[in-house]
Amino acid sequence: MSKLIVHKYGGTSMGSVERIRNVARRVAKWHRAGFQMVVVPSAMSGETNRLLGLAKACATGFGADGVALDAAHATPQAHPSARELDLIAATGEQVSSGLLAIALQAYGIDAVSFAGWQVPIRTDSAFTKARIESIDDAKVRTHLNAGRVVIITGFQGVDSDGDITTLGRGGSDTSAVAVAAALAAEECLIYTDVDGVYTTDPRVVPEAQRLARITFEEMLEMASLGSKVLQIRSVEFAGKYKVKTRVLSSLTDPAMDLAIEASSGTLITFEEDPDGAHTMEQAIISGIAFNRDEAKITLTRVPDQPGVAFRILGPIADANIDVDMIIQNASIDGHTDFSFTVHRNEYQRAIEVLNAKVLQDVGAAEVIGDAKIAKVSVVGIGMRSHVGIASLMFKTLAEERINIEMISTSEIKISAVIADRYMELAVRALHKAFGLDAPAGHVGTSN
Amino acid sequence: MSKLIVHKYGGTSMGSVERIRNVARRVAKWHRAGFQMVVVPSAMSGETNRLLGLAKACATGFGADGVALDAAHATPQAHPSARELDLIAATGEQVSSGLLAIALQAYGIDAVSFAGWQVPIRTDSAFTKARIESIDDAKVRTHLNAGRVVIITGFQGVDSDGDITTLGRGGSDTSAVAVAAALAAEECLIYTDVDGVYTTDPRVVPEAQRLARITFEEMLEMASLGSKVLQIRSVEFAGKYKVKTRVLSSLTDPAMDLAIEASSGTLITFEEDPDGAHTMEQAIISGIAFNRDEAKITLTRVPDQPGVAFRILGPIADANIDVDMIIQNASIDGHTDFSFTVHRNEYQRAIEVLNAKVLQDVGAAEVIGDAKIAKVSVVGIGMRSHVGIASLMFKTLAEERINIEMISTSEIKISAVIADRYMELAVRALHKAFGLDAPAGHVGTSN
């Protein structure tokens, strides 16, 4: 039986009739080369925002320009129902999927499209952020075996009540990987407007190199730390079900040589991969991740008693504020400083919660914080078996006279919080120190 | 139990956020007055055309402006698949239904929307022109009994394969009447951009009056003869299932008195209606219908033999050309003239078919025709029991020196084909002759 491949195309790749026809020609090439093909498209770029904008306007009576359509009947406090939002938003992928089927047919390829509920892709009932529970492969296999390209809407499924659900922003990546897992696909190719995963952001470090391979654990760290190429849940799915996933460019010529296309981009692998994602020759770390989305908060002189961490973070969680790094140092004379980071947008709210509900309760001295921070991380499976990674990182930052305000580590990454004005400098220095800079004239790593 | 009412809103009524919120306020008024409410919306005006335009462009590679997007890869002969067209087009109503639910919720009304497949509304598999086979009322009743307004997408259903189907242009009227029938609704209110059915087109005859009532048989004749207010299949449905259907304006103030609104527009009734749709006081005929969409064709000196009508019209039907009027007069010396009308767009093709396949076969003298004709009809249940309707019609046309080229009759209508330049004159003369002109200063018939 011929090998099964899943392609996923993002909103930019599906952004116009011309681009949809380009996608069709690319898929047709793969189909004609003998692969069984399943394609998962996103909505045409801009469409999801258009639909959600209409929904918001229908709820409030205010247009996109913020002006009331009919002031006498405006309902500014109203919020659109999540169930109806999903029913509305899901149409974007239904349209792009149907259009892709039509474009494929125009090029002589038998194709059929299915909305998530038709497959069905079953999810829980958490509207706007549903999780996939199961995918029935029977209908899809029947059509594949009949020689058809099968197109499945990204981003959506159906719950046990028969209501349409969506998986949240970027959910089409997750749909594609989940479909690839359910069908035991050979590989899941995520076509996007970047040509792979880089050792760091090329806009910050021009010498950044494309990684031919990255492990899914590294990808998780890189994604959650700000190198946003794939939705993080799709990477988790890929890891859980061992789906070989490749990120590659949709901007190349659809007629390019298939063998070259098939080995382009970045392949997300698993450490167990017998091909060896990390051989002796490869760098110990895979990349430098960074973000400046966070703010740090510290409670000073917290009495070091059992349960104090919960008494600090419980009210924060109750206020629906996500916490990233948490640092509690060893105590001196029965007191410690307790620090954590939150998203910068929630910094003020977190401070208010702490002052109102926590400060007195735990008997801390004061709440201090700083929103002008950045987090810089070195990421790499390789560091597991190498000593000295942390010290090289700290030495490099010290040489640039960059003060480290917080440190946190995991098995495959070390993160440092620094003043945000030093972020680019830190990233460039670390990228060079860890041997990630491309040789002059070199673009991308060899494969 | 409170009475169940179905509202249907057309694309113009749903054409913007502001209008959708007006619809919500109107529906909320009915709901608060104690009615159980089911609402069937069309897609926002323009949306269906936008979607079908995208589909066509994806099939051919030509944009809406007729220019090839990428000439090297255009596929001008390609036609979009009907299955995919339906999957795409059905999203228009899914969006408008979700938006209406959100708008209702913003006004404090509990509301839920369902796509046709969720109800489900089951249809056959004739994509783009499917017919409703059954409607499951269980889910709808559950939500109605919980006090919710239930919104059901117009225009669409699902076939036995689980594929989305659409009912063809104007299909939302049919959806609404079918839903009303399935739920045994008290009444189906079709809100549109006209305020009812008139004795004839007010643009031709300013004295035309709105009919407070019309029987469904008359409505069928009026609709098929060109007074396009309701999709004809919805009228057939209303007649078959005895659904009291009212056509009324969506352009009135949503806050208008409910009792006045509920008796506005035109009610489509059944002859058996004990209220008496046609009492002594009412006019014998209900209206003057007309169109200039047809062309007439005559085969002269056709030998009058058994089977000749089939030998003429068989090849026409094989060419997928619809025939409307058919006239065959008594024969003289074994020959007769055989005439029929076709849509003006198919006139040339019909002439070609006759010359190529029929003329010699049946041994007729020649094929002649005229595309510059109009059909004018008087319609009315009342004419069944009244003599002299035909003679009054012919006398009126004669007084205006209008020649009658063809005549055909049914139980409740008489149609005459005339030269198209006389159409308006004929309609005005007949409207007056049959006593349909409104008294000076009168707008609409009293109720």
Q: Does A52 touch chain B (CB under 8 A)?
A: no
Report the CATH number that the domain containing residue B146 is assigned in CATH: 3.40.1160.10
Looking at the structure, do residues A340 and A407 belong to the same domain, yes or no?
A: yes
Please answer yes or no on whether A85 and B78 come within 8 Å at the CB atom: no
pLDDT grade, residue B217 (50/70/90)? confident
Summary count for chain B: helices (H), strands (E):
14, 20
As a whole number of angstroms, the longest Cα–Cα distance in chain B is 78
Looking at the structure, do residues A241 and A342 belong to the same domain, yes or no?
A: no
Q: Across-strand partners of A41?
A: A9
Q: Which of A 60-99 lie inside 8 A of B, CB atoms?
A: 60-61, 63, 69-70, 73, 75, 78, 80-81, 83-85, 87-88, 90-91, 94-95, 97-99
A217 occurs within a structural domain: no
Looking at the structure, do residues A263 and A290 belong to the same domain, yes or no?
A: no
Q: In a mutagenesis test of the B interface, which of A96, A99, A109 is the best target, namely the one with the most B β-carbons within 10 Å? A: A99
Q: Does A293 touch chain B (CB under 8 A)?
A: no
Looking at the structure, do residues A50 and A177 belong to the same domain, yes or no?
A: yes
Q: What is the pLDDT of residues A410-440, one digit of tens each?
A: 888 899 999 999 999 999 999 999 999 976 5
Cα angle for residues B86, B92, B97 (degrees, 5° grid)? 125
Looking at the structure, do residues A243 and A318 belong to the same domain, yes or no?
A: no
A301 occurs within a structural domain: yes
* Range from A222-231, B37-46, B133-142 carrying the lowest mean pLDDT: A222-231
Please answer yes or no on whether B21 and A69 come within 8 Å at the CB atom: yes
Q: Which of B 103-122 lie inside 8 A of A, CB atoms?
A: 103, 105-107, 112-113, 115, 117-118
Give the per-residue SS3 of chain A: CCCEEEEEECCCCCCCHHHHHHHHHHHHHHHHCCCEEEEEECCCCCHHHHHHHHHHHHHHCECCCCCECCHHHCCCCCCCCHHHHHHHHCHHHHHHHHHHHHHHHHCCCCEEEECHHHCCEEECCCCCCCCEEEECCHHHHHHHHCCCEEEECCCEEECCCCCEEECCCCHHHHHHHHHHHHCCCCEEEEEECCCCCECCCCCCCCCCCECCEEEHHHHHHHHHCCCCCCCHHHHHHHHHHCCCEEEEECCCCCCCCHHHHHCCCEEEECCCCCCCCCCCCCCCCCEEEEECCEEEEEEEEEECCCCHHHHHHHHHHHCCCCEEEEEECCCECCEEEEEEEEEHHHHHHHHHHHHHHHHHHHCCCEEEEECCEEEEEEECHHHHHCCCHHHHHHHHHHHCCCCCCEEEECCCEEEEEEEHHHHHHHHHHHHHHCCCCCCCCCCCCCC
Looking at the structure, do residues A42 and A178 belong to the same domain, yes or no?
A: yes
Q: In a mutagenesis test of the A interface, which of B23, B48, B58 is the best target, namely the one with the most A β-carbons within 10 Å? A: B58
Looking at the structure, do residues A318 and A344 belong to the same domain, yes or no?
A: yes
- Give me the residue from B58, B81, B106 closest to A21, CB to CB: B58
Looking at the structure, do residues A84 and A170 belong to the same domain, yes or no?
A: yes
Which residues in chain B have their CB less than 8 angstroms from residue A58's CB?
17, 20-21, 24, 99-100, 102-103, 106
- Give me the residue from B70, B75, B84 closest to A101, CB to CB: B84
pLDDT value of position A175: 96
Q: Does B100 touch chain A (CB under 8 A)?
A: yes
Q: What is the pLDDT of residues A336-348, one digit of tens each?
A: 888 999 999 999 9
Indicate whether A92 pLDDT > 60.
yes
Which residues in chain A have their CB less than 8 angstroms from residue B253's CB?
none
Which residues in chain B have their CB less than 8 angstroms from residue A69's CB?
17-18, 21
Please answer yes or no on whether A58 and B162 come within 8 Å at the CB atom: no
A274 occurs within a structural domain: no
Indicate whether B236 pLDDT > 90.
no
Q: Does B333 touch chain A (CB under 8 A)?
A: no
Counting every residue written for chain A, the total comes to 447
Max mean pLDDT among A20-34, A234-248, B276-290, B356-370 falls in: A20-34
Q: What is the pLDDT of residues A357-381, one digit of tens each?
A: 999 999 999 999 999 999 999 998 8
B58 occurs within a structural domain: yes
Residue predicted with more confidence, B168 or B154: B154
Mean pLDDT of B382-391: 79
Which residues in chain B have their CB less than 8 angstroms from residue A115's CB?
87, 164
B348 occurs within a structural domain: no
Indicate whether B138 pLDDT > 80.
yes
Q: What is the pLDDT of residues B55-94, one digit of tens each?
A: 999 999 998 788 888 888 999 889 999 999 999 999 999 9
pLDDT value of position A308: 83
Which residues in chain A have their CB less than 8 angstroms from residue B54's CB?
17, 95, 99
A336 occurs within a structural domain: yes
- What is the share, in percent, of chain B residues with pLDDT greater than 90? 67
Range of the domain at A386: 283-437
pLDDT value of position A447: 37
A397 occurs within a structural domain: yes
How far does B115 lie from chain A, in Å, by closest CA? Answer: 9
Q: Which of B 5-44 lie inside 8 A of A, CB atoms?
A: 17-18, 20-21, 24-25
Averaged confidence pLDDT in chain A: 90
Q: DSSP class of residue B233?
A: H
- Cβ(A273)–Cβ(A214) under 8 Å? no
* Range from A341-350, B217-226, B286-295 carrying the lowest mean pLDDT: B217-226
Pairing relationship of beta strands B266-269 and B213-215 according to DSSP bridges = parallel
Please answer yes or no on whether B57 and A17 come within 8 Å at the CB atom: yes
Looking at the structure, do residues A58 and A160 belong to the same domain, yes or no?
A: yes
Which residues in chain A have their CB less than 8 angstroms from residue B60's CB?
106
Residue predicted with more confidence, B326 or A261: A261
Which residues in chain B have their CB less than 8 angstroms from residue A51's CB?
95
Please answer yes or no on whether A18 and B70 come within 8 Å at the CB atom: yes
A210, A244, A269 — which closes off a domain? A269
pLDDT grade, residue B206 (50/70/90)? very high
- Give me the residue from B25, B83, B102 closest to A84, CB to CB: B102
- What is the share, in percent, of chain A residues with pLDDT greater than 90? 66
Which residues in chain A have their CB less than 8 angstroms from residue B105's CB?
59, 78, 80-81, 84
Mean pLDDT of A283-293: 86
- Cβ(B295)–Cβ(B342) under 8 Å? yes
B198 sits in which H/E element: none
Report the CATH number that the domain containing residue A325 is assigned in CATH: 3.30.2130.10
- Give me the residue from A25, A90, A118 closest to B73, CB to CB: A25
Number of other CB atoms surrounding residue A242 within 10 Å: 14
Indicate whether A277 pLDDT > 50.
no
Averaged confidence pLDDT in chain B: 90
Which residues in chain A have their CB less than 8 angstroms from residue B107's CB?
75
Q: Which of A 371-430 lie inside 8 A of B, CB atoms?
A: none
Cα angle for residues A278, A280, A286 (degrees, 5° grid)? 45
B424 sits in which H/E element: helix B423-433
pLDDT value of position B329: 77
How far does B188 lie from chain A, in Å, by closest CA? Answer: 25
- Give me the residue from B51, B78, B84 closest to A113, CB to CB: B84
pLDDT value of position B230: 82
- Give me the residue from A20, A51, A112 closest to B95, CB to CB: A51
Number of other CB atoms surrounding residue B304 within 10 Å: 16
Counted domains in chain A: 2
A129 occurs within a structural domain: yes
Which residues in chain B have their CB less than 8 angstroms from residue A25's CB?
73
Residue of B nearest to A99 (CA): B55
Indicate whether A443 pLDDT > 80.
no
Mean pLDDT of A88-99: 98
Q: Does A101 touch chain B (CB under 8 A)?
A: yes
Which residues in chain B have their CB less than 8 angstroms from residue A164's CB?
115
Interface A-B, measured as beta-carbon pairs within 8 A, has a size of 137
- Cβ(B183)–Cβ(B241) under 8 Å? no
Please answer yes or no on whether A70 and B25 come within 8 Å at the CB atom: no
Please answer yes or no on whether B84 and A75 come within 8 Å at the CB atom: no
pLDDT value of position B63: 83
How far does B142 lie from chain A, in Å, by closest CA? Answer: 13
